[in-house]
Structure 1
Amino acid sequence: MVILGLTGSIGMGKSTTANLFKEEGIPVYDSDASVHALYAVGGKAVDLLEDEFPGVKNANGAIDRQKLSSYVIGDDAALKKLEQIVHPLVFQTRLDFLDYQREQESTLVVFDIPLLFETGSEAAVDKVIVVTAPFEVQKERVLGREGMTEEKFETILQKQMPDSEKRKRADFVIDTSLGIEKARESVKQIISILMKSKES
């Protein structure tokens, strides 16, 4: 089984690209969705986070992400504690996904991981695809999101590896500013290349 890591900075079109792989029948592991599930009612992270950060569990029994953010923003020690709780749980969901795909005899899977390089997760994949777009396009997309400000955008960018560095490390690059059809074409080409390399 070939494991393809999919990553890209905020606003680059990663989720759209992940959906293109799904449309081609390729199983996609979504790390963001895994975190959402861990924070949801009955999620494995809920009580652990409530113990560490009292008051973050809301009346419904899920994690209030805003309250959790207020604990960790600007507090590196608190952020580290959060990561020590959440990262192992996310890692386990990834292993469970892989085990299931091996049972299904999948030949290619995609790991959709926003901070692939930043967390050292490239070691867990065979090839890396980076989605990119010119900075002005990226900025326009991100600032168009609800609740986003220039300040927030800058803070997020500072935590992410520069796009130019990601592209240097990539095996494949998709420029999503060229339109959805061009991206779809690129996805199909990448699948074809990886399937052929698996056969040879």
Structure 2
Amino acid sequence: MIVLGLTGSIGMGKSTTAKLFAEAGVPVYDADATVHMIYEGEAVPAIEAAFPGTTADGKVDRQRLSAQVLHDPAAIQRLEQIVHPMLRAHHEKFLADAERSGAAVAVVDIPLLFETGGEKRVDAVLVVSATPEIQRQRILARDNMTDEKLNAILARQLPDAEKRRRADFVVDTSHGLDPVRERIRDILDQAAKIPRRRA
């Protein structure tokens, strides 16, 4: 089974691209959805202990947590030490299940793939990209998003040009869904010929 790492900066159309892979019958692991799930379950006690007052009703309150960690690199690191081992366990289970199901290709959708060294754990990297104007427009249309918040998020992400340079495949989402579907078909054809390289 070939594992494709799907990544891209905020607002580039990564979630839509992941959905189109799933639509094409490819098993897709969604790191963000897994974070949501553990923030409503197994991660809650450890996060409350490390960051008191950031949980309510048995769930992590993402806004309170964000307010405590966003501008504090040491706090972000502490949070990652809690969350990453849990995510890794879910990720490994997903791959084992996909392999068992006989899938030829699996996609792991990981926003900070390069930033966390995740490219070593996949066979090829697929970067989702769009023009900077489209990116900004998409993000600022979201609820609770401000220029300041956007700049803080972008500061933690590798620049788009660098991601594209390091990618095996680039998917441009600037021109609607049909070109993306077509690109996915190309990538799936080529994926069958990729040598396995993950650690």
Place the TM-score, normalised by the shorter chain, in its bin: over 0.9
CA apart distance, 1:106: 1.5
Q: Aligned partner of 1:51: which letter?
A: A
CA apart distance, 1:197: 4.5
Report the secondary structure of 1:177's partner residue.
coil
Residue 44 of structure 1 is matched in structure 2 by 42
Of 47, 51, 58, which aligns to 1:53?
Answer: 51
Residue 62 of structure 2 is matched in structure 1 by 65
Q: Which runs of 4+ in 1 moved over 3 A?
A: none
Report the secondary structure of 2:67's partner residue.
helix
Question: Is the 8 Å Cα contact of residues 123 and 194 (structure 2) preserved in structure 1?
Answer: no
Residue 103 of structure 1 is matched in structure 2 by 100
Partners of 2:166 and 2:44 in 1: CA distance: 35
Partners of 2:71 and 2:139 in 1: CA distance: 22
Residue 16 of structure 1 is matched in structure 2 by 16
Question: Residues 45-194 of structure 1 correspond to what in structure 2 (within 5 A)?
Answer: 45-58=43-56, 60-194=57-191
CA-atom RMSD, angstroms?
1.1
- Structure 2 unaligned segments of length 5 or more: list them: none
CA apart distance, 1:99: 1.3
CA apart distance, 1:196: 4.4
CA apart distance, 1:117: 0.3
Q: Aligned partner of 2:135: which letter?
A: Q
The TM-score, its normalising length taken from structure 2, stands at: 0.95
The TM-score, its normalising length taken from structure 1, stands at: 0.94
| Structure 1 pair 72–148 and aligned structure 2 pair: CA distance change class (3 A) | same
Deviates more, 1:119-128 or 1:142-151: 142-151
Partners of 2:175 and 2:194 in 1: CA distance: 27
Partners of 2:152 and 2:76 in 1: CA distance: 15
Give the paired residue count: 195
Identity level (%): 52
Q: Aligned partner of 1:117: which letter?
A: F
Deviates more, 1:142-151 or 1:164-173: 142-151
Q: Aligned partner of 2:15: which letter?
A: S
CA apart distance, 1:195: 2.3
